[in-house]
Structure 1
Amino acid sequence: MNDAEHASTGATLTRSLGLWSVVLFGLAYMTPMIVYGTFGVLAEASQGMVPTAYVLALCAVLLTAVSYGKMSYIFPVAGSAYTYARKSIGGNIGFVVGWAVLLDYFFLPMVIWLIGASYLNEAVGGVTTQVWLIAFIVVTTAINIIGIQFASKVNFILMIMQSLMVIVFVALCIHYIVGARGSGGLLSVEPFFNANVPFSFAFAGAAIAAYSFLGFDAVTTLTEETIDPKRNMPKAIFLIALIGGFVFVTAAYFAQLVHPGGVFENVDAAAFELAITIGGDVFSAIFLIGLVIAQFASGLAAQTSVGRLLFAMGRDGVLPKGLFAYVHPTFNTPAYNLALAGLVGMVALYLDVLSAASFINFGAFLAFTFVNLSVISLFLKKEEAMAGTSAFTGLVIPAAGAVFNLYLLTSLDGKAITLGCIWLGIGILYLAVLTRAFSRKPPEMSFRESS
């Protein structure tokens, strides 16, 4: 592609990712080891029912995955929920959904980098969280700007390493439980249900646990870089959700058996307490390395997705084209967007993990809801693209998914809901300016890729 093509608003991305490359990006985005990084926070919120919290979150994700699969088949372009709502419901609604998705994607890398920096600060004396945070941001931004194929190769290596770490952690948990309680101790309903704890706590935990699943939908922003997206993207979405859910529930179950309840000396670093319990100081040090690697891989994938989402919105003219629709002539990546995502990550210097995770989940649940509503809208309009779709997959499943996600949204803490509403208010004001007090439609995205 020459420089003139890159500079034009019709700039395109290169298709180079196969099914398993997309799945690996999604799993890296989700980060299997995040089940340990946030275990203390979830255990406290769910009062010791972390596996149940993950099961509830998985239900919402799987219902929504049906809709994501359908919409990614109909609209195989970058943009994710923003694109789907825009084409299915309307331009103004599409903008609001896109703004909510920005809340999710824009701040997700920040949370990932914050978790990694917090664990390094806990383990390594003399180096502040701020220094570790900046190091995370600089390295991931550089790798992503160099190119997505390079990032894909790095992700593959990092995914292998963290997957092995999860397997070892689970094995040590089993060894510890058998040694302490015998083989019968491996089977218990306590991690899933406690008669003395109201079940509403499980939903409160699920509202936070959904943070771990965000990568299943984020890969739809890679549609324009995926080979045969109509076939591979729906498959990738389901594989990511199912594999990730299985890992989260299994790992949380055994960890909860090792440490029943939700009380830790430091909930933000509860994984250290667990690692020392099951493997001593040596394993806790190895575990730290694995957790940091996992956060690095997740940050890499998260920043990749926000860069592509901003590219889609910039190409559409919703955001300034000169900045957001720019593709680097050498690396063929949206370099300005990636750099901006890195700068936004600096906000993590002023937040804690729980507040940041709850805040971005507001955007995630809203986006999930409107993806489900987009399917319903197309089905009720009897669009040609929905031909052959049954009422069950075109109406019942997306309706259930929308209700489930809205309920989880209301289960977030009040501060997160307030901040989320403020973010939406800012977006609506910007939309009013963009459309001259709603007197004209927002710019329309072209769904045909340029040559």
Structure 2
Amino acid sequence: MSETTVSLTPKLSLTSVVTFGLAYMAPSLVMVIFGVISAASGGTAPTAFLVATGAMFLTALSYAKMARHYPTSGSAYVYTRKLLGSPVGFLVGWAVLLDYLFLPMVAWLVQSIYLNAQFPAVPVWVWMLLNAGLTTLVNIIGLTLTDRVNKLLTGLAVFIVLLFVAYCLVHLGHHAPTSYTRPLWNSGSSLGGISAAAAIAAYSYLGFDAVTTLSEETRDARRTIPRAVVLVIATGGLLFAAVAYIMQLVHPGGLFDDPETVAYTMSIEIGGQTFADWTNMAGIVGGFASGLAVQLSSSRLLYTMGRDGVLPQRFFGTLHPRTKTPVLCLLLTGAMCLLGLDISLATATSFINFGAFLAFTAVNVGVVVHFVRNRRAGVTKVLGYVVAPALGACVTVYLMTQLSVVALTIGLCWLAAGFAHLLWLTRGFSRPTPELSMGETPDGTEADRTQSPVEA
């Protein structure tokens, strides 16, 4: 082994990490999908968001626990590798890789569609190249610049969402609602409808786990990352529920001419055409911030797997000596935008959730395994390390069963390809799965990385 000459540098604060997580989830997303959630829940969108928040919060707690015990980049890939075995960790990392490779492309495609709607003279493919190019450039220059740009754009996106809420409140001042409880439960509500809507809303929370990929670039990661995971899911969930409640007061019930354009038509109703055009900017600004956060976390997972020798180390496992960023990983994720030049948004998003829910399930199971290994006693330990993650696993397995046949087919085929790659790496399991050599601290948690991995 040789000593590492370049390594990730801890620069991020709690505020920075939480902001990256919120950017990943996109604060304006609640406005985009409100109509769909409201229609599915019978006009109780805020209740559906609250149920989704509670359901995903269980998995967030599991990620927080694992981030405290294993404060290294790699997220679910590292946690499952340490607790469920290297082969399982490899397959989970491989499954998540499908999401992380294509998520930046999806983020840029969504933003490009918004920009094309705002400036139709410029085609979507031009916006795709511009978005991917600018995002990649900012991420390559360095984490400090990425952090500053992300804070600025996410703050602006949240401001526009809050401005929209303010206009809604002024509108309600002139058109008082007949009931303030109807958005939470009404005669058209049902547990089945709310549960189905909550399952749809749960997809909006994907990304809270991505902050764990920043562990090695976060100051005092053992404390900061667990707190950030919980704060991201809690802040994002409460924001989604609050905005949905106000929108549901403005438009009671779940019947719409077009559920997918409710935010735009509502903006015209409460503020006029000019205000609606500016509200559309929330999606555009938030889209760029989301693209930054998604590409940042994607490149860190690729780097970690490359550093471990699971992916070709010479390409994926290197950092630029000056910027200390995985430049080649960033260029690869940036180049993925070329696949989005001739693909629909529905197709692009049809398969990216398989790996996420598989990873969520694996991390929840890993928490239970950690409890069993350490024989922790006490009621609170049982609740936190067995009951909550078990419930979380049930939720994520259920969500996985709700994916489309196309998503499941592509996900399973990708997983099969990963298994074939694992067989090749281990020569039919006659060799150990490539992984980084790490020390263990006295309490059983993972120590900081001090050595480079063995060449694959």
**TM-score in terms of structure 2 length:** 0.90
The CA deviation string for residues 122-174 of structure 1, in whole angstroms up to 9 with x for no partner, is 22222212211221111101000000111001111112211111111112222
Asked whether 1:415 is paired with 2:406, we answer yes
Q: CA deviation at 1:276?
A: 1.4
1:362/1:51 Cα in 2 relative to 1: closer, same or farther (>3 Å)? farther
CA distance in 1: counterparts of 2:412 and 2:368, whole angstroms: 25
The CA deviation string for residues 200-228 of structure 1, in whole angstroms up to 9 with x for no partner, is 44344333322322232100000000111
| Farther off after superposition, 116-125 or 219-228 | 116-125
The CA deviation string for residues 93-147 of structure 1, in whole angstroms up to 9 with x for no partner, is 1011111221222222222212211122222222212211221111101000000
**Residue in 2 aligned with 1:347?**
339
Where 2:352 maps in the other structure, the secondary structure is helix
- Which sections of structure 2, spanning at least 5 residues, go unmatched? 439-447, 452-456
The CA deviation string for residues 418-448 of structure 1, in whole angstroms up to 9 with x for no partner, is 2222222222222222222233321022344
1:319 to 298, 311, 321: 311
Q: How does 1:1-400 map to 2 (within 5 A)?
A: 11-43=6-38, 46=41, 48-180=43-175, 182=176, 184-185=178-179, 187-189=180-182, 191-193=183-185, 195-196=187-188, 199-260=191-252, 267-382=259-374, 390-400=381-391
CA distance in 2: counterparts of 1:307 and 1:78, whole angstroms: 11
Contact 1:47 1:201 in 2 (8 A): yes
- Which sections of structure 1, spanning at least 5 residues, go unmatched? none
**Residue in 1 aligned with 2:449?**
449
CA distance in 1: counterparts of 2:430 and 2:36, whole angstroms: 46
Q: CA deviation at 1:234?
A: 1.0
CA distance in 2: counterparts of 1:109 and 1:263, whole angstroms: 33
1:272/1:62 Cα in 2 relative to 1: closer, same or farther (>3 Å)? same
1:343/1:43 Cα in 2 relative to 1: closer, same or farther (>3 Å)? farther
1:364/1:378 Cα in 2 relative to 1: closer, same or farther (>3 Å)? same
CA distance in 1: counterparts of 2:5 and 2:393, whole angstroms: 34
1:204/1:222 Cα in 2 relative to 1: closer, same or farther (>3 Å)? same
**Residue in 2 aligned with 1:425?**
416
CA distance in 2: counterparts of 1:170 and 1:355, whole angstroms: 32
1:193/1:340 Cα in 2 relative to 1: closer, same or farther (>3 Å)? farther
Contact 2:302 2:316 in 1 (8 A): yes
CA distance in 2: counterparts of 1:356 and 1:205, whole angstroms: 22
Q: CA deviation at 1:414?
A: 2.7
Q: CA deviation at 1:291?
A: 1.9
Letter in structure 2 aligned against 1:272: Y
1:22/1:121 Cα in 2 relative to 1: closer, same or farther (>3 Å)? same
1:442/1:201 Cα in 2 relative to 1: closer, same or farther (>3 Å)? farther
Moved over 6 A (4+): none
CA distance in 2: counterparts of 1:321 and 1:382, whole angstroms: 34
CA distance in 2: counterparts of 1:251 and 1:150, whole angstroms: 30
CA distance in 2: counterparts of 1:21 and 1:409, whole angstroms: 31
1:89/1:193 Cα in 2 relative to 1: closer, same or farther (>3 Å)? same
CA distance in 1: counterparts of 2:94 and 2:259, whole angstroms: 31
Contact 1:23 1:237 in 2 (8 A): yes
| Farther off after superposition, 261-270 or 132-141 | 261-270
Where 2:351 maps in the other structure, the secondary structure is helix
Letter in structure 2 aligned against 1:445: L
Contact 2:42 2:188 in 1 (8 A): no
1:438/1:258 Cα in 2 relative to 1: closer, same or farther (>3 Å)? farther
The CA deviation string for residues 364-385 of structure 1, in whole angstroms up to 9 with x for no partner, is 11111111111111111227xx
The CA deviation string for residues 310-355 of structure 1, in whole angstroms up to 9 with x for no partner, is 1110000000001111101221100111111112233333444444
CA distance in 1: counterparts of 2:28 and 2:278, whole angstroms: 13
1:404 to 378, 395, 410: 395
Q: CA deviation at 1:260?
A: 4.4
The CA deviation string for residues 167-194 of structure 1, in whole angstroms up to 9 with x for no partner, is 11112222223423x1544x133x4445
Letter in structure 2 aligned against 1:104: D
Letter in structure 2 aligned against 1:394: Y
1:132/1:420 Cα in 2 relative to 1: closer, same or farther (>3 Å)? same
CA distance in 1: counterparts of 2:351 and 2:199, whole angstroms: 11
| Farther off after superposition, 329-338 or 46-55 | 46-55
CA distance in 2: counterparts of 1:350 and 1:57, whole angstroms: 33
Contact 2:9 2:217 in 1 (8 A): yes
CA distance in 2: counterparts of 1:353 and 1:132, whole angstroms: 14
Q: CA deviation at 1:28?
A: 1.4
Contact 2:357 2:397 in 1 (8 A): yes
Q: How many residues align?
A: 440
